[in-house]
Structure 1
Amino acid sequence: MKMSNKLIPRFWLFFATLLLSFNAFSFESGVSGTVSYRDLPAEARETLQLIRAGGPFPYEKDGSVFGNYEKVLPQRKRGYYREFTVKTPYVRHRGARRLVTGGEPQSTAEVYYTADHYRTFRRVSE
């Protein structure tokens, strides 16, 4: 099957548009700016206080290694990032909100907040 010369430019335009619409191929980083500590939801501030205190955490997975498989955060060795659940009011499961910390387990020097289950992150500033 041979494409007509008129269809070839349209095909490539469609293909390029489709390719750039996928997040994995876009040129945007998943870390979109910062959010100040005071602008975090109250539940995220509570979770951050628990991290600094070393727990106890309400969810079993809190403190587990965050793999950064989507490569949204800066690349580090496995085990560098840890994830913590941020409670979502009126939701019976863990919800989509998380804090991800980098470095030592109780360190909050590098903290990222996501409200959309790891699609995008904002770095938390004090």
Structure 2
Amino acid sequence: MTRAGTRERAGKWLRHGALAALVAVAGWTGIGLHGGPIVSSVALARQAPDASTGVSGTVAPAQLPPEAAATLKLIEAGGPYPYPKDGVVFGNFERLLPQHRRGYYHEYTVPTPRARNRGARRIVCGGAVKRIDNCFYSDDHYNSFKRIVE
């Protein structure tokens, strides 16, 4: 490569580096280039129609996949569950479900046909164990939820 080509590549990297530094500083301060706050794409994706939760609607048990209906019956019966992690505390770290104390929510696997692992489908229930009146369904591994209602 010629010296001119090397200088041109170095200039590109310098410009990209300067832009990256500007973005990093703007992100650190929370101020966008036009003076407004920075809102990440993750935050935008997690905003819900209802400002208090990230639950996007409801679903009847009859509308759920048959595996989810079977999981609801297992929850109501108190098990036995097919996966060791079923029934563990769900931390609600995504903050999409209504806020409650730690230990309020528990998660359960909804088997996915032909999946080699647990898959992405879950039911998360709040309150006492064996109660299914405050459950939520996620088919995208906690990126969104629908309240399960009769």
Give the TM-score category using the shorter length: 0.7 to 0.9
Match for 2:42: what amino acid?
Answer: F
Q: Of 55, 75, 89, which aligns to 1:31? A: 55
Partner of 1:12: 34
In the TM superposition, residue 27 of structure 1 has moved relative to its aligned partner by 4.1
1:20 deviates by 5.2
Larger radius of gyration: 2
Gaps of at least 5 residues in structure 1 are 1-9
**TM-score, scaled to structure 2:** 0.70
Same amino acid, percent of matched pairs: 50
* Higher normalized contact order (CA 8 Å, seq sep 6+, divided by chain length): 1
- Residue 83 of structure 2: SS of its match in structure 1? coil
Q: Distance in 1 between matches of 2:95 and 2:104?
A: 13
Is 2:124 the partner of 1:122? no
Structure that is richer in strand per residue: 1
Task: Look up the SS of the partner of 1:47 in the other structure.
Answer: helix
RMSD of aligned C-alpha atoms? Answer: 2.3
Size of the alignment, in residue pairs? 116
TM-score scaled by length of structure 1: 0.83
1:6-25 CA distance string (max 9 Å, x none)? xxxx9328x75x62533268
Contact 2:111 2:119 in 1 (8 A): yes
Q: Which amino acid aligns with 1:65?
A: V
Any gaps of 5 or more consecutive residues in structure 2? 1-31
